[in-house]
Structure 1
């Protein structure tokens, strides 16, 4: 399949794809757009945001601002636990990064959390439970919001300022701007609108950026992040994050169940092929940063909102990877 055939294939079979960028050995070798968008447009990359938060945590660890075995409640000395609650006292940063923290909810309590003035404090009330820490994988978007709050606490600046200073600026990525909404309708529009976004990051009303979703980027910006990860924390001869963190972040920490195709999970990154260390950031709608260290290339995809897109990695492996 050549590039023209690929363009037509995407147009016919993956109608919500907006941009694709591929890089080989540090150079852009393919870039294309669909649905009237251009390469500079930004899109909500959904849960790819989680993987960016992992990078920020890694930088904070490198700077010795925190360590993964610290208990979450160390950062909230004034937090009042509910009577009889003990499990929350054992939850660490590592538990949040590997999605093995226990929660009291079965499904994400969006209304309860998003209508509260402080999402992190509300999430703390939802952590723990009678079963204790079991090590089971429990994927959550709202449950990791505390990570954004922790970055701000240990750095002394807002998480978005930290991201702009230590990650986006060194990569030549335009600073993100905090974006808040006034009501539920504006929130839904942010998630589902097919219009391109500005260079923003969704925030709580208190200005704290969301950790599980909400970041808006272009596929080229995502490719820069992917290239930095491929080069073990270095971008254009500048070290941004330690090689040790990249290795640890992309090593299998837990195996997921049938719902997630029995994939392995690192620190907020999906491990696609543990043997070849192929890993990816994956977001709702099929937003992806796909990294193949063996073949030294990355593929990034931006998409508009579409529920239940589960074949994007398969599409990359079957139709783009062979071209590389």
Structure 2
């Protein structure tokens, strides 16, 4: 990219996307652009918020391929035989993994009860207690924080490993992503301090040591780009199949809709026909994959309420610059 375009892009970032920490653009697996802002560097890890969900999707695909989980059509409660369903509750008994993957499972609350969730000793059980209710299975309902932790409980029960250990063995280590550690909060003050800290690392876990599934993972910008490139490569990395191809194909195509937005299996589908999809997190954290153009864009950002749409930024400013760039295959 020439210096003029470089300066123009950075002017837009500084003026309209000022909470950006890092951006990496890959095409055909080669790094065409890498830059860091606001004092962050290539080694800086940030809380990527709901990008965590798409990482959990990857881990579920690996677990299915390895036989730990039989099918996404299994009922959620099949994995929790000791869980006691409250009298008169029927909906929860019919919720499947697919319902939860596509955000079409019902919950008993109008807004997520964060205080109740965070102060409990077992976040997986708290999520199960809120699953079901009077809503209908099949209607889209995005659950930012609480519901996805059920997936963590399922991974722990089926694999016999922590989510962190499973992710390290089958995803992070093969990609050269630095090992993580559990982050456990002992009180509200610790959690708020972690949220506001600009130099965080690790993966949040509940008091039982079970890692979060809807938020709480930290990655650096190149880590995110590697994960995007892995998906673009149909799960191949250094001539080794890390994620099953069929799972990438299934999880990144439309299975449900929320107004004009399409959703796969814990991935947002930006364009189903062109096969463009993304992992999106608060503040503007993004792993963006354009299959047709062989482009991966990762953006790491600090939290900012009402952060501007990064997909619009990618499509209007980044892709036009790099669409016609030629790289060696």
Partner residue in 1 for 2:325: none
* In 2: Cα distance, 1:206 partner to 1:176 partner: 17
Q: Quick check: 1:234 aligned with 2:254?
A: no
Distance 1:297 1:274 in 2: 16
Corresponding residue number in structure 2 for 1:85: 89
Provide the secondary structure at the position in 2 that maps to 1:100.
coil
3-state secondary structure, aligned to 2:278:
strand
**What is the SS of the residue equivalent to 2:56?**
helix
Contact conserved, 1:7 with 1:32, CA < 8 A, in 2?
Answer: no
Kindly report which structure 2 residues correspond to 1:273-312, keeping only aligned pairs within 5 A, or say none. Answer: 273-312=271-310
Deviation string for 1:227-247 (max 9, x for gaps)? 000011112221101110000
Does the 8 Å contact 2:24/2:222 carry over to 1?
A: yes
Secondary structure of 2:129 counterpart:
helix
Partner in structure 2 of residue 209 of structure 1: 211
User: 1:274-320, CA deviations, whole angstroms, 9 ceiling, x for partnerless residues?
Assistant: 11010000000000000001000100000011112241110011111
User: RMSD between aligned alpha carbons?
Assistant: 1.0
Partner of 1:13: 16
CA distance in 2, matches of 1:115, 1:131: 26
Unaligned stretches of 5+ residues in structure 1:
none
Of residues 317, 321, 324 in structure 2, which corresponds to 1:323? 321
Instruction: Find the aligned partners of 2:211 and 2:135 in 1 and give their Cα distance.
Output: 30
1:196 aligns with 2:199: yes
Whether contact under 8 Å (2:17, 2:308) holds in the other structure is no
Residues 41-66 of structure 1: CA deviation (Å, up to 9, x unaligned): 00000000000000000000111111
Structure-2 residue corresponding to 1:177: 181
CA distance in 2, matches of 1:139, 1:183: 27
Q: Deviations over 1:248-284 (max 9, x none)?
A: 0011000112xxxx11000000000111010000000
4+ aligned runs moved over 3 Å, structure 1 = none
> What TM-score, normalized by structure 1, do the two folds share?
0.96
Query: Is the contact made by 2:105 and 2:136 (CA closer than 8 Å) also made in structure 1?
Result: no
TM-score w.r.t. length of structure 2: 0.94
In 2, distance between residues paired with 1:132 and 1:277?
29
Residues 1-324 of structure 1 aligned to structure 2 (within 5 Å): 2-66=5-69, 67-133=71-137, 135-140=138-143, 141-193=145-197, 195-198=198-201, 200-257=202-259, 262-324=260-322
Q: CA separation in 1, counterparts of 2:139 and 2:40?
A: 41
User: Does the 8 A contact of 1:291 with 1:299 survive in 2?
Assistant: yes
Equivalent-residue separation in structure 2 for 1:16 and 1:294 (angstroms): 29
> What is the number of equivalent residue pairs in this alignment?
317
